[in-house]
Amino acid sequence: MSPCFLTILVSSAILCGPDTVGEAPDGLMVEFLQGPAVIGVADREPEFGWITHSPRPNDVQTAYRILVSTSLASLEKKQGDMWDSGKVDSASSINVSYGGKSLAPRQTCYWTVKTWRSLGGESPWAAPQKFTMDGFLDGYCTSRYPLCQTEISPRKILKKNPGRYLIDFGKVAFGYLKLNLPQPTAQLEVHFGERGDDCGINRKPGGSVRYYRVVLDANAQPEEDGCFYVHPPRDRRNTGADAVLLPAEIGTVAPFRFVEIVNGPANLTASMIRQVAVHYPFDEEASSFQSSSRVLDNVWALCKYSMKATSFAGVYSAGDRERIPYEADSYINQLSHYATDREYTLARYSHEYSLRHPTWPTEWKHHSVFMAWADYMYTGDKESLIQNYRILKSKKTLEQYARSDGLLNTDGLKDIVDWPAVERDNFDFRAVNTVVNAFYYRTLVEMVDLANAIGQKRDAAEYRKKAAQVKLAFNEVFFDPQRGVYVDGEGSKHASLHANMMPLAFDLVPEKRMDRVADYVVSRGMACSVYGAQYLLEALYHAGRDEVALERMTSKGLRSWYNMLRVGSTITLEAWDDRFKPNQDWNHGWGAAPANIISRYVLGVRPLEPGFRKVLIRPQPGTLRSASGTIPTIRGPIKVSLKNERGKTFILNVDIPVNVTAKVGLPYRGNPSPTITLDGKDLKVTSHEGSYFVDGIGSGSHVLICH
């Protein structure tokens, strides 16, 4: 777990009996907060969750028992003085509601759980989790962790001349500097910078890339611990009225990797200086990826680290220049965060924050529905949806702007299509346009499922009817049959990348038109921004163009993630390069689309039922010879490993958690009658959209071979 989680040393052996079999549950969560000890549980009736284990394949949980107590001593006696659920016959291992005595503000409790499995018998008790209630328990509120402050040692210290040092911490982090130095005898200069190299910090980095100079006077006094804490100066823009502010006790932070010390001690050692990185708790071990492409591996690592580094505000915020949560930024953050950590509170809080603080672009409203849907599918929990359904319905679908044929007329609103403006592929803005209506269609489809989830059957039926109407009108109004492409809007002759990749990504393109539209999308290259790349890649995978999608992610061109690494960034950029957005910053989470694309499409892991009760595992590796990874889910990690001998054999190893069933798709190999085996046994399979599917695979490790 993350080092900022508190630790309680309790041996789970204390709670194990001689009749137990297999591994104890782990990954305990209360209100989605995990770790041995958590604080700030804001729900009077919190939900509990855990990961069930079994030594046998195809096992399922059949029952559980939860104990909640005010002391560890009671748990050691197998007593729950706050709640003993008794043995409950149920497969539920997530979102199990508390059913004990009333919990009071600031009350501390401990809880544990044991399970019974159909094949694995009775488990040992889980190592307890300690939780402390929030000070205010008044109505609905998303529980959150406090921010972490992690000390990072220097990667490199270069002595330039007496008293002058260049320190490289290896990666950019949002934070400040801790110095354990003798009392300065002269004015000490501290220079912070995002951009630099072994020659020094770039003091004129351009755009919103950060550089700061701070002076420590000779009479400056250290803190009580004997150290000097050097914070960058306050930036008026990103600490203004609309920005997300950090807790006062943390102080001012800025992104930096390099530090120069002028008038420092005669000998500066690594023990004297630390980068104090501020971030949300992040489990580095929760996810992994490696493949036969070194570039793709490096892109994955860049995007994964971006999830941790850009969490510094405790809400998804759009880079350092503004520190304002934008809905589209947050949605890409959410998907990529889910792909890299078993963490759900930051995404939910960010979604709910944006509902209260909406931003200006038209399509960003629709992204609030996308966030609500992703939250429900990845957690299986309806609480946030129930609380916020009314605002989603009244303010985020934009159905009030629909005309008689169902299409939206957004004349007078602020359609964005893509950002910055130079990345729109010369999009021809019209009052009734293709991009906005593609988003509207997907919003309606997701509202059908959201309404059904909370029992709003009449709404669901109405949204289903509207979605069908929009799909029909969309293809009648926007499609040019002679060219086989979608134009930008009603009355337009121009066909941009965006007008074609969005309907392809959102399942608006009839099958008979799929190839021509996909060919056109491929022909336009990467004529979109890092934001648009999310939907470009989804479109390519939906159309079965995984080889092209892989080429886009591993490109070394100017519009590439490789270029972000080439220019020296360790966090994804706001734009492909400074020339496309001169004021860009170097720390935008919305540039990290490959993190979720790799897990959802290259490895192919996506939830089919809420809370990953059923999962799709459909790798689309393109030309990769091999790939493997660990994808975190609320029910436990899913592990995927593949070997891709194109034209010969495809070997897929999967490891599926207990309480999860999988539908597995193997890439179509051109053989109309392939031999497919599951754990050595021949199977009859169905084919669809370029894959052979095997349904109903249970928990444990399995090997599928297609040849």
What is the distance, to the nearest Å, from the Cα of residue 341 to the centroid of all Cα atoms in its chain?
7
Query: Are both 415 and 557 inside the same structural domain?
Result: yes
Q: Sign of dihedral through CA atoms 479, 481, 482, 483?
A: positive
Domain that includes residue 344, residue range: 288-602
Per the CB < 8 A criterion, the answer to whether 113 and 48 are in contact is: yes
pLDDT score, position 6:
41
Query: Are both 596 and 633 inside the same structural domain?
Result: no
pLDDT score, position 186:
85
Query: Are both 293 and 167 inside the same structural domain?
Result: no
What is the spatial distance between Cα 166 and Cα 284, in angstroms, rounded to a whole number? 28
Query: Are both 206 and 314 inside the same structural domain?
Result: no
Spell 104-137 as b/e; 16+ CB within 10 A means b.
Answer: eeeeebbbbbbbbbebbbbbbbbbbbbbbbbeeb
- Burial class, 251, CB count within 10 angstroms (exposed 0-12 / middle 13-18 / buried 19+): middle
pLDDT score, position 689:
78
Final residue of a domain: which of 133, 162, 191?
133
Query: Are both 623 and 513 inside the same structural domain?
Result: no
Query: Are both 435 and 545 inside the same structural domain?
Result: yes
Q: How many domains does the chain have?
A: 4
- Domain assignment present for residue 143? The answer is no
- Domain assignment present for residue 660? The answer is yes
Query: Are both 119 and 156 inside the same structural domain?
Result: no
Q: Tell me if residue 384 falls in helix, strand or coil.
A: helix
pLDDT score, position 668:
75
- Domain assignment present for residue 6? The answer is no
Mean pLDDT for each consecutive 10-residue tract of the chain (707 residues)?
Answer: 42 41 89 97 97 95 98 95 98 98 98 95 96 93 96 97 96 97 88 96 95 92 94 92 94 97 93 98 98 98 98 95 96 98 98 97 98 98 98 98 98 97 98 98 98 98 98 98 98 98 98 97 98 98 97 98 97 97 96 98 98 98 97 98 89 97 88 86 84 94 95
- Domain assignment present for residue 448? The answer is yes
pLDDT score, position 670:
66
pLDDT score, position 12:
38
- Domain assignment present for residue 2? The answer is no
Query: Are both 230 and 299 inside the same structural domain?
Result: no
User: For residue 534, which amino acid is it?
Assistant: Q
Query: Are both 314 and 268 inside the same structural domain?
Result: no
Query: Are both 537 and 561 inside the same structural domain?
Result: yes
Query: Are both 320 and 274 inside the same structural domain?
Result: no
Looking up tokens 């597995």 gives 664
Query: Are both 233 and 183 inside the same structural domain?
Result: yes
What is the spatial distance between Cα 177 and Cα 273, in angstroms, rounded to a whole number? 7
